[in-house]
């Protein structure tokens, strides 16, 4: 049962990461060149930030699993411990 909790947390984190990533994508498509501004202003650090934005769905899934483990750790251990 704990894998269902972990899967649900990963799924919710993934969906939130995709939503935030789509916000940045729509911002770039609307004519506000956010990516070019970051690269021009911050150089390599701007490219790093853009790659972190692209990795938000995966980071969200991992953070969702960690959050479930943190929030429901005691309950999950009691159920599996018997």
pLDDT digits (tens, 9 = 90+) for 33-61: 888 888 899 999 999 999 999 999 999 99
Given a cut of 70, whether residue 63 has pLDDT beyond it is yes
What percent of the chain shows pLDDT beyond 70?
95
Name residue, tokens 């049962």: 1
**Would you say 53 and 21 are in contact if contact means Cβ atoms under 8 Å apart?**
yes
Return the pLDDT at 80: 61
DSSP symbol at 33? -
């Amino acid at each position: 049962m704990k894998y269902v909790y972990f899967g649900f947390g990963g799924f919710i984190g993934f969906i939130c990461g995709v939503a935030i990533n789509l916000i940045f994508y729509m911002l770039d498509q609307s004519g506000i060149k956010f990516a070019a501004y970051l690269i021009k202003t911050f150089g390599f650090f701007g490219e790093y930030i853009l790659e972190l934005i692209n990795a938000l769905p995966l980071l969200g899934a991992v953070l969702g699993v960690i959050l479930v483990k943190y929030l429901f750790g005691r309950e999950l251990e009691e159920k599996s411990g018997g």
